[in-house]
Chain A
Amino acid sequence: MPTTESLSPAALLAVYTLALRIHLVDERFRGLLRSGRLAAVYYSPRGQEILAAAMGVHLNARDYLVTTYRGIHDQLAKGIPLRSLFAEYYGKATGACKGKGGAMHITHPASGVMVTTGVVGSGLPIANGLAWASQLKGEDRVTLCCFGDGASNIGAFHEALNLAALWKLPVIFLCQNNGYGECTPYGKATASARISDRAAAYGPNMLGVTVDGNDPEAMWTASAAAVARARSGEGPTLLEAKTFRFMGHYFGDPGAYIPKAEYDAALAKDPMPATRAAVLASGISEAELEDLKKQIEADIDDALQFALDSPVPDLDEINRDIYADPTGAPA
């Protein structure tokens, strides 16, 4: 895995392809919600596509992901199958979690999506445990833990970062700093100028980096370094990716608390069209990108149809997965 190279055209295309997939899935979900064809609590990752994709291209299915309710971009970047995802949003038996977790609690271990938590800041201590297991087993898996700037103010954040640094765990804490914790702006909730500045408090094992999460090259390079650092046993990274959240906190949030000038300035730096332009400048044609889009749309059509055609869970499902059978003893 290159760590110091700049973003090659092929790597840029890989990032954009993944980001476009995230973008189009998000667009589809919002369309379904707007038209009343889907009823779910939804947290759009619009604006955060590039940072997730630029991290995702460095990970494989064996690496672990812990993310939050605004995690659809992370889950897609980690490779969760669209059918499992759509069916879970529809609460169907074929969904990733058999319709029992829902949009805010996606799990899909086959693609490394281990926990999606609806409780802000809860994922960090759990990510440590996954990373600790890899360390104990001598595996080179990386654990990626995604959360927002709001999560950096709960106690679990501090406890987890201290332990990760202390034990030199192979974990990346990716703070997606979109400027708002729910409806409260960063400056009203966080006293530190930068989240990554807090890394210094956890000693030399914790590297703190702030990067423009909307810049594919910067994000790709920082991600590569954090992944390489974790994989080689050098320790955890607190990677703060600065970004913006175009659709408010939850779907339907009019975002009245966001100053118009701030919103307009962010929109002017929307990473999706900017990255598309960069891909075109690198020699990819409009036609190729149109084909790419068509292919992803076809995958989404298929996933949506699969979800719509799938049965709802059997009522007996409410009795399952509470406990295992009481047979966990070694033979």
Chain B
Amino acid sequence: MNAPTAATTATKTISFTEAYSRALHDAMEMDPRVIMLGEDIADEEGGGVFKVTKGLSTKFGSRVRTTPISEQAIVGAAVGAALAGLRPVAEIMLMNFITVPMDQIVNHAAKLRFMSGGQTHVPITIRTRTGAGAGTAGQHSDMLEAWFAHVAGMKVVIPSSPADAYGLLLGCIFDEDPCLFIEDAMTRTQTGPEPEKGKIIPLGQANVAREGTDVTVIGYGRPLRDTLVIAEKLAAEGISVEVLDLRTVSPLDTDSILKSVAKTQRAVVVHEAPRSFGAGAEVAARIQEHLYSELKAPVLRVASRDVTVPFAKVLEQEYLYKPSAIEASIRQTLNGKGRR
């Protein structure tokens, strides 16, 4: 769906920020149960630091509320309102601040359905933003998706195109479970074809962003955009790369992963988060559990370094995963062809 064709080249494009904003607007219009809370999000405060919620409080009134800087209070209020039948969307401005309401997310939002024996559930969406590359350093750049994917009951979503961002955010808001929706700070102005209004992308389903036969690159978010560019370049050399966008880190769409890797017999897993204990390790483990005898090369991982995100530009770039490493890993798995 990401590869433009002759028929779609005339399609209007929108940015990620427009996609998030449009999804929130349309969700509120579609369902009066959708409410919103977060720091600075109402128009009097500027419509959010990143302008994603701009216009919403003017149109939807008290359904959109600016909160104090109180992350536990924000997520707790979202949990309680969800228990009472509403569909709160809470904004935690930056992902590092999610360390503050971890108790509300991990002990309550994620677990109340199970611990109550299904009597209650917590259909909240937590929107948050993160990503390294803008010099915001150690406390404003972390990708922490693996923490939440590790907790039963949570759904974790990271889109890699504006259309997916729109559909997946609607998917989170209308999902019956607690969802963490992660917006990449570095791609916010990038554009892509606009989504169909009201079209919900269900969670837990990966997307074949590009079909190929030689190797599967599996990932989500920003590195997927780099991968698509690399795949085009390699296609000119006769290397056919399949790109699988997980879209939902949790629940993980194992079937789609296995289907693709069974076809290509080679896999590279990419993400922006640090390598160790990241989502890539889980993907690689599932591939080897199911397809060990069919693999023609070890599953490789491309990720950022296991260090605190540094400030100095050169160090920050040294921290981040490198598109060149994605390309090199693809080539390496292909070179491993005759190893077994």
**Residues of chain A whose beta carbon lies under 8 Å from any beta carbon of chain B:** 64, 66, 95-101, 105, 107-109, 114-115, 117-119, 122, 124-134, 136-137, 143, 155-156, 159-160, 162-163, 166-167, 320-330
**Residues of chain B whose beta carbon lies under 8 Å from any beta carbon of chain A:** 30-31, 35, 62-63, 65, 67-68, 70-73, 75-86, 88, 103-104, 107-108, 112-121, 123, 152-153, 155, 170, 174-177, 200, 202-204, 251
A129-B84, A323-B251 known; A160+B76 contact, CB < 8 A: yes
Q: With the chains together, A319 CA to B68 CA distance in Å? A: 38
Asked if residues B107 and A119 are in contact (CB atoms below 8 Å), the reply is yes
Q: With the chains together, A124 CA to B113 CA distance in Å? A: 19
Q: Which residue of A lies closest to B175 (CB)?
A: A328
Asked if residues A101 and B116 are in contact (CB atoms below 8 Å), the reply is yes
> Inside 8 A of A322's CB, which chain B residues have their CB?
113-114, 152-153
Asked if residues B72 and A98 are in contact (CB atoms below 8 Å), the reply is no
Q: With the chains together, A324 CA to B114 CA distance in Å? A: 10
> Inside 8 A of B65's CB, which chain A residues have their CB?
167
Show 24 A/B contacts (Cβ-Cβ < 8 Å), sorted by A.
A100-B114, A100-B115, A107-B115, A115-B112, A117-B108, A125-B75, A125-B79, A125-B80, A126-B104, A129-B76, A130-B80, A132-B77, A132-B80, A133-B85, A136-B86, A156-B72, A156-B73, A156-B103, A159-B70, A163-B67, A321-B116, A326-B175, A329-B174, A329-B200
Q: Which of A98, A143, A162, A326 has the most CB of B within 10 A?
A: A326
Asked if residues A99 and B117 are in contact (CB atoms below 8 Å), the reply is yes
> Inside 8 A of A117's CB, which chain B residues have their CB?
107-108
> Inside 8 A of B77's CB, which chain A residues have their CB?
125-126, 128-129, 132, 163
Asked if residues A107 and B119 are in contact (CB atoms below 8 Å), the reply is yes
Q: With the chains together, A130 CA to B80 CA distance in Å? A: 4
> Inside 8 A of A328's CB, which chain B residues have their CB?
123, 174-177
A155-B72, A323-B251 known; A133+B120 contact, CB < 8 A: no
Asked if residues A122 and B104 are in contact (CB atoms below 8 Å), the reply is yes
Partner of A95, one of B103, B113, B117, B152: B117
Q: With the chains together, A270 CA to B153 CA distance in Å? A: 44
Q: Which residue of B lies closest to A122 (CB)?
A: B103
Closest 4 CB pairs of A and B: A125-B76, A129-B80, A133-B84, A98-B117
> Inside 8 A of B113's CB, which chain A residues have their CB?
321-324
Known: A126-B76, A162-B70, A323-B176. 7 other contacts (CB 8 A): A107-B117, A115-B112, A125-B73, A126-B77, A130-B84, A132-B80, A326-B203
Q: With the chains together, A192 CA to B70 CA distance in Å? A: 22
Grouping DSSP codes into helix (H, G, I), strand (E, B) and loop, the B interface class, with mixed when no group exceeds half, is mixed
Asked if residues A323 and B104 are in contact (CB atoms below 8 Å), the reply is no
Q: Which residue of A lies closest to B82 (CB)?
A: A129
Shortest Cβ gap from A130 to chain B (Å): 4
> Inside 8 A of B83's CB, which chain A residues have their CB?
114-115, 126, 129-130, 133
Asked if residues B73 and A159 are in contact (CB atoms below 8 Å), the reply is yes
Asked if residues B114 and A126 are in contact (CB atoms below 8 Å), the reply is no
Q: With the chains together, A328 CA to B112 CA distance in Å? A: 17
> Inside 8 A of B73's CB, which chain A residues have their CB?
125, 128, 156, 159-160, 162-163
Asked if residues A97 and B88 are in contact (CB atoms below 8 Å), the reply is no
Shortest Cβ gap from B66 to chain A (Å): 10
Shortest Cβ gap from A222 to chain B (Å): 24
Q: With the chains together, A319 CA to B85 CA distance in Å? A: 24
Partner of B30, one of A143, A155, A330: A330
> Inside 8 A of A324's CB, which chain B residues have their CB?
113, 121, 175-177
> Inside 8 A of B204's CB, which chain A residues have their CB?
326
Shortest Cβ gap from B57 to chain A (Å): 14
> Inside 8 A of B153's CB, which chain A residues have their CB?
322-323
> Inside 8 A of A107's CB, which chain B residues have their CB?
112, 115-117, 119-120
> Inside 8 A of B31's CB, which chain A residues have their CB?
330
Q: With the chains together, A117 CA to B106 CA distance in Å? A: 12
Q: With the chains together, A155 CA to B85 CA distance in Å? A: 27
Asked if residues B76 and A122 are in contact (CB atoms below 8 Å), the reply is yes
Shortest Cβ gap from A95 to chain B (Å): 7
